[in-house]
Structure 1
């Protein structure tokens, strides 16, 4: 789901996690809606702290199935301020103020709190859900720290291309199967007076989207290497991707910087929209805005040249604090969260794909993409926002946003140098923590 820029790295180091009882904790607790409740939930329920209050009906739908399976339901509590959610969790998860479950992210953001010894090792849970076929074993690594998983996938979204079926049909365009074909599609749309790509993000987290996708399409192994400090941002693969991004801007393939994803339904109606690379979680918003499967389609970005097919994955984590009031019940909920019947209820609300390959949403828009991924089995890459230490990612995403405002080849090279300099600093800090 979308993530705003934080005001900085905040409380991200192990020493800060040791904070307790001061004014900072008091302010953090005061900022949450119900997350400071220190008492166990009612019998037959476990509490969940979340930063998305709109998901309440989804948790209720999944909980109804959980109750039949294991006798426990989820009582969700939402922090009023998304910006403060991270600090609230960091402060409360190590105290009696914690909920039984917490919504978090995966990747390095999960590792950042897992190494503070405040989350439960869910190795036995993963062993069981893998045995049952409820999750792809390849997902385990992005929920692990030093070989032990500290969360299960709360949801799973792919980054793929929404496209206007009307625009494609009117101009004789088929879904592209190669990257060169994708560029040809963009040129055809531009020649027809249609903006090829809606591309928000100059001042938001969305600035990462095309950068991570172009790296993934060029060389998924390099993407994995550069995000884990095994390659440089100034290597040839990154330079090639950034030059391509700059050329796509020069070709007039992208929207103006002030266009946002919220403008998409209106642009579809006016016939001015071609494609948008975005998370599948956005499909539900489009359907709620009145668009249908007849208006919008989905396809994976094809690989460039001989690169392996790859798709970027966004996922949240359902984790159990060590100090959970109903610890055993919370672990049981985590273990059964990925059950096919529970996930079917959950994605029925989200309208998105599921970590469980057997649970498909009702919308054909997303279902077809999930089936395509299952058939092709592309390399699945952790979204950039979670793929490296938080201060590194957030600084680099701001650099990428600045590039989108001035997307010249020279500025692209300068952007990569800035990102590499930041990487050298932040990886040293991460390794020393």
Structure 2
């Protein structure tokens, strides 16, 4: 994913750079130094109110304290901006020293294959990052020579986890007499109750990642691990007109017809979706844990909660997005130091208590009740091998293919069968390109 991984809220982090008082060197790409001031250029796209935004802001402060004379230059970027321009920027002299980037074959995997990312294998071993990350979380950090995740060299470091869940307005549910659903039938009955009351139940965004993740969730309800491995890691033939994707596309289209999803949502972006839920305009939002901290901070007018997708064993999820170091970074040694700070206990504990899913926190230090609920649900999903990655990961450019496909389902311009043909083509083309 997106964040899909991924996350998609535009970054508004108010991180002020340290005024330079140089004592270090303007490091070369290999991390050496020479006389003169140094600057660490950092890009990420997490909102200031998100758990990650808060944690990274604190990490910047700790970096500045431990690196006197080094200026941190934080540049605000949006998820879509980095998604669309990373290949071009990283192949130029404008590359940052460290940046957040979407994980998966189509994104970090593609850049690693193109030689645009630094191999972090030695640093991962030296600094113990390989010991802090479980094997399942390492999947998105390592890529082989074909750019396929799960093995090979370390090209990124994730320091949080994420998954897609159902957020709900408890007050709206109570008003309609709806209990938290535990089965898929109960969930659709709840959607129907809202629709019959003249309320569109699900806030979503068809112009970016959210809507495609709903279609993928529906497909996953008919899938097993072998199907996910086949789709994501090319371990088996994927039939796009098989029961999984057929159910996902057809049911998604049906939900639009039934009024569960607005026909106007084809043009809605993720940020607008989140703001509409915060404003109480929709009782349900299906999206990722990256929203959790922001909801804790901003929802004041109603009680809210979350639950796992009912009736299914799997959901989109994985490690969080990656810290990557561009091959053309000018200060790689500083980049490694910054990544290391984001992995320390203080930053990880702050992340956990702010509504994030840390990978190296002290469990006893997570005291916020809602954060505990988030972690418990993630642990349940993870323990049942339920992390199914994200639908846009398998092929370069697949994110835009899926956005177009779900938009066509929302506005009814194409049938589910036609949309499945559209998303099958680029996937099969990529298989041919990598020799599968």
TM tier, smaller: 0.7 to 0.9
Cα-to-partner distance string for 1:373-407 (whole Å, 9 max, x where unaligned) = 2144242122223x112223322321221111118
Say if 2:421 is the partner of 1:417. yes
Counterparts of 2:57 and 2:69 in 1: how far apart (Å)?
A: 12
2:192 to 179, 187, 191: 187
Residues 1:242 and 2:240 are matched in the alignment = no
Instruction: Report the equivalent of 2:141.
Output: 143
Distance 1:224 1:72 in 2: 48
How big is the shift at 1:366? 4.5
Question: For residues 399 and 87 of structure 1, what CA distance do their matches in structure 2 show?
Answer: 18
Q: CA deviation at 1:106?
A: 0.8
- Size of the alignment, in residue pairs? 388
* Cα separation, partners in 2 of 1:257 and 1:84, compared to 1, 3 Å: closer
Establish whether residue 47 from structure 1 lines up as the match of residue 61 from structure 2: no
1:268-315 per-position Cα deviation (integer Å, ceiling 9, x unaligned): 766x632110122223444454436x52111110234xxx34443473
Q: Any idea what SS the aligned residue of 1:380 has?
A: coil
Alignment-derived partner of residue 310 in structure 2: 302
Spell out the pairing of 1:64-213 with structure 2 (5 A cutoff).
64-66=61-63, 75-78=72-75, 85=82, 89-91=86-88, 93=90, 97-108=94-105, 109-127=107-125, 128-131=128-131, 134-146=132-144, 147-201=152-206, 203-213=207-217
Gaps of 5+ in 2: 5-16, 18-24, 28-32, 145-151
Q: Following TM superposition, by how much is the alpha carbon of 1:416 offset from its aligned partner in structure 2, in angstroms?
A: 0.8
1:334 aligns with 2:343: no
Name the SS for the 1:75 alignment partner. strand
User: Superposition pairs for residues 239-318 of structure 1, below 5 Å?
Assistant: 239-258=246-265, 260=268, 262=272, 273-291=282-300, 295-304=303-312, 308-313=313-318, 315-318=320-323
Cα RMSD of the aligned pairs, angstroms, is 3.8
Q: Work out the CA distance in 2 between the residues paired with 1:87 and 1:269.
A: 30
1:164-217 C-alpha deviation (Å, 9 max, x unpaired) = 10122233333222222212222233344432222331x333331211111223
Judged with a 3 Å threshold, the aligned counterparts in structure 2 of structure 1 residues 69 and 381 are, in CA distance, closer, same or farther, namely farther
- Cα distance change, pair 197–87 in 1 and its aligned pair in 2 (3 A): closer
Q: Which deviates more from structure 2 when the two are superposed, residues 76-85 or residues 274-283?
A: 76-85
Q: 1:267 to 1:316 in 2, by over 3 A?
A: closer
Q: Which residue of 1 aligns with 2:11?
A: none
Q: Map 1:5-20 onto structure 2 (within 5 A).
A: none
Match of 1:29 in 2: none
Q: How many angstroms does 1:163 deviate by?
A: 0.4
Change beyond 3 A, Cα 1:276–1:82: closer
Could you report, residue by residue, the CA deviation over 1:121-151 in whole angstroms, capped at 9, with x for unpaired residues? 22345452343xx433201111221121200
Structure 1 residues 288 and 246: alpha-carbon distance in aligned structure 2, compared to 1, 3 A threshold:
same
User: Do the aligned partners of 1:200 and 1:206 also contact (CA within 8 Å) in 2?
Assistant: yes
d(CA) in 2 for partners of 1:224, 1:73? 44
| Equivalent-residue separation in structure 2 for 1:59 and 1:74 (angstroms) | 16
State how far apart, in whole Å, the 1-side matches of 2:2 and 2:431 are.
Answer: 25
